[in-house]
Amino acid sequence: MTNVTNAVTNTVAARTVADIEAMHRESLAYQQVEMVMAHELFGFSEELKGVGELPVFVGDHPLVPKRNDAHVFNKSLVRRILLSMKGGDTSFMLEGDKGTGKSSLVTQMHNRLNKPMINITGSNGIDDTHLLGCKTIKGGDVEEFDGVLSYAYRTGLTCLIDEICTLRPGVLVGINDILQGDGVINLKHHGIDPTLNPRDLLNVDGGMTIVKHPMFRLFATDNTGGKQQSDARFAGVNAQNAAVRSRMTSFKVGFMTPEEEMKALKGAADAYAAKRKLTRMDDMFIQQLVEFAFRFRKAFAMEEACDNISFREIQRWAYKWMMYSDADESFVDSIYTNLEETDRVLAIQLFKSTFNRELILPEEHAYSVTSIADAFITKSVAASKAAAA
């Protein structure tokens, strides 16, 4: 942490929590913003009840996510998240199936708000030093470094932790103070100077205490929300402490409606075609891709399939369809090959139901080693007999 030096005495001036909070308020007062109606900002035709105008930061920032014009926002979900943020909530969990757009929702909301953010993807190897920092040796001196989360907490960024439930449960317990919105946290795992007077333990410049910036927010995404589950699709996910989950405002992110999904897919496909100089996909094909996805999702909901089909997968299918100029081969490479064996049978049936014709599989899927060997042997035997005759 950077110490404040008194210009007259050239001694370190101990800053208090109140000093830092005053600095935050002053910096925000000088931050230029423009007020925009929320529904206009997110592309809705009607106002978002209770939200009204939102402050949008003016100016460029390298940590503001890139805009995706094809993104389709869910009106109810956006409204509830915005109201929760305005109401003072700082920690949010977005839970939903694969490919429902959890991370995209966060990044695209921050793009529209022009708010910078930083992110980290969870894994079993992430621990409190990645999130809250540590002490290290540099040039013979002991220096303190922030983790991703403590840096965002200190500077007013939004921190996005993707796949948060892949973290070990004990790691999340260690950030309970941040999750519950505490305005001041102590990085006690950095260690305590044994010569420090206990009265000075909360001095901001002691290295252990950091003050929450009022613009800080924490978003997390996960497929299970940290709850006990038996879904084998999400290997590596840990059930999290219930006390951790209770500190976060949780939202369910579902699949888009068919109309929304067609709109999003058309926007993404048109942008891809323009960038790659490909022929645009026909609207009827867009509709058929979405129809196939919903047929498969219905089968999954009825426990007739092992897995679901996400928007991410049909978007890849659309891209490859335009690239290959072939519906069948693009389907095989984008979706079919990734499926469990039992789901492949279902996929062939649903493809026929959607397109009113049989799926033409490439030779590596259409023929087994046994059938190829049998045909080759039969041909060889016939040739040998012909030669002997």
Same domain for 274 and 227:
no
Do residues 313 and 99 touch, judged by C-beta distance below 8 A? yes
- Residue 365 belongs to some domain of the structure: no
Give me the mean pLDDT over the 218-230 stretch: 76
pLDDT for 95 = 93
* Domain-located, residue 285: yes
Residue 375 pLDDT > 90, yes or no?
no
Same domain, 244 and 272: no
Tokens standing for residue 371: 């059938």
Q: Could you read off the pLDDT of 158-199 as tens digits, one per residue? A: 999 999 888 888 888 889 999 999 998 887 666 667 777 777
> What is the extent of the structural domain holding 300?
258-358
What's the pLDDT score for residue 5? Answer: 30
Residue 7 lies in a domain: no
Domain presence at residue 385: no
Look at residues 252, 274, 297 and tell me which one is the last residue of a structural domain: 252
**Residue 314 resides in a domain:** yes
Number of domains in the chain: 2
How high is the pLDDT of residue 209?
80
Mean pLDDT of 311-316: 96
Task: Specify the pLDDT at position 190.
Answer: 66
Identity of the amino acid at 21:
E
What's the confidence (pLDDT) of residue 238? 67
169/312 same-domain check: no
**Same domain? 31 vs 179:** yes
> Is 9 within the bounds of a domain?
no
Q: Which residue has the higher pLDDT, 274 or 143?
A: 274
Same domain as 195, residue 70: yes
Burial class (CB in 10 A: 0-12, 13-18, 19+), 178: buried
Indicate the pLDDT class of residue 141, thresholds 50, 70 and 90. confident
| pLDDT score recorded for residue 229 | 62
Average pLDDT on 335-346 reads 94
Percent above pLDDT 70 for the chain? 88
User: What's the 3-state SS for the chain?
Assistant: CCCCECCCCCCECCCCHHHHHHHHHHHHHHCCEEEEEHHHHCCCCCCCCCCCEEEEECCCCCCCCCCCCCCCCCHHHHHHHHHHHHCCCCEEEEECCCCCCHHHHHHHHHHHHCCCEEEEECCCCCCHHHHHCEEEEECCEEEEECCHHHHHHHHCCEEEEECHHHCCHHHHHCCHHHHCCCCEEECHHHCCCCCCCHHHCCCHHHCCEEECCCCCEEEEEECCCCCCCCCCCCCCCCCCCHHHHCCCEEEECCCCCHHHHHHHHHHHHHHHHHHHCCCCCCHHHHHHHHHHHHHHHHHHHCCCCCCCCCHHHHHHHHHHHHHHCCHHHHHHHHCHHHCCHHHHHHHHHHHHHHHCCCCCCCHHHHCCHHHHHHHHHHHHHHHHHHHHC
Report percent pLDDT > 90 for the chain.
60
pLDDT for residue 108: 98
Domain final residue, candidates 202, 230, 252: 252
248 and 106, same structural domain? yes
Per-residue pLDDT of 89-115, as tens digits, reads: 999 999 999 889 999 999 999 999 999
Mean of pLDDT values over 276-295 = 97
pTM comes to 0.84
Of residues 363 and 334, the one with the higher pLDDT is 334
pLDDT of residue 8: 34
Residues 92 and 210 in one domain: yes
Shared-domain flag, residues 195 and 55: yes
- Identify which has the larger pLDDT, 320 or 23: 320
CATH code (residue 114): 3.40.50.300
Would 166 be classed as within a structural domain?
Answer: yes
Question: pLDDT per residue over 240-270, tens digit each?
Answer: 777 888 899 999 999 999 999 999 999 999 9
**Range with top average pLDDT, 13-17, 297-301, 319-323, 379-383:** 319-323
Domain's final residue, options 229, 252, 275: 252
Please say whether the beta carbons of 262 and 288 come within 8 A.
no
Among candidate residues 309, 243, 317, the one with its CA nearest the CA of residue 285: 317
pLDDT band at 232 (very low <50, low <70, confident <90, very high): low
Residues 21 and 159 grouped into a single domain: yes
Is the same domain home to 158 and 290?
A: no
Look at the alpha carbons of 118, 93, 32, 154 in this order and tell me if their dihedral is positive or negative: negative
Is 157 among the domain residues? yes
**268 and 236 in one domain?**
no
Q: Identify the residue with better confidence: 361 or 237.
A: 361
Q: Are residues 31 and 96 in the same domain?
A: yes
Most confident by average pLDDT, 104-118, 130-144, 354-368: 104-118
